[in-house]
Copies of this chain bind each other. A is one copy, B any other.
Amino acid sequence: MAFANTFKALSDPARRQILELLKKGPMSAGEIGAHFDMTGATISYHLKILRQADLVFEKREKNYIIYQLNTTVLEEIILWISSLKGEETDS
C-alpha cells in the first residue's frame, strides 16, 4: 500500500515544499502553514496525506502538533528509480 501512496504524496508541489521545510527541522502545523497562502485546513489535509504516505510523523508538544520528516521511505523510492535506470541494487 505504501508505494503508490508515496508517489501520490510527492506529486503535489505544496507537499514537496512542506518536506523541504521539514528538512531544516521539525515544525508545528501552524508554522508550516505560515509559509503558504492556504488555510490551515488545507495544510492539515496535505499533512494527512504526507502522514499516510509515511513521509512525515507527528508528535504532540504542548498545544502544538510537531511534524517531522521521515526519511526511511525515501530510500525505497530511490531504489525503485535507480532500478529503472538499470542499476544494480548494491546489496
Contacts and interface: CB of A to CB of B under 8 A. Distances in A.
Interface of A: 4, 7-8, 10-11, 13, 16, 19-20, 23, 69, 71, 74-75, 77-78, 81-86
Given A7-B10, A11-B10, A11-B11, A81 B77 contact: yes
B78 A74 contact: no
A44 to B, nearest CB: 21
Q: Name A's interface SS.
A: helix
A74 B69 contact: no
A72 to B, nearest CB: 9
27 contacts: A4-B13, A7-B7, A7-B10, A7-B11, A7-B16, A8-B11, A10-B10, A10-B11, A11-B11, A19-B84, A20-B84, A23-B83, A23-B84, A23-B86, A69-B84, A71-B84, A71-B85, A71-B86, A74-B81, A74-B84, A74-B85, A75-B85, A77-B81, A78-B78, A78-B81, A78-B82, A81-B81
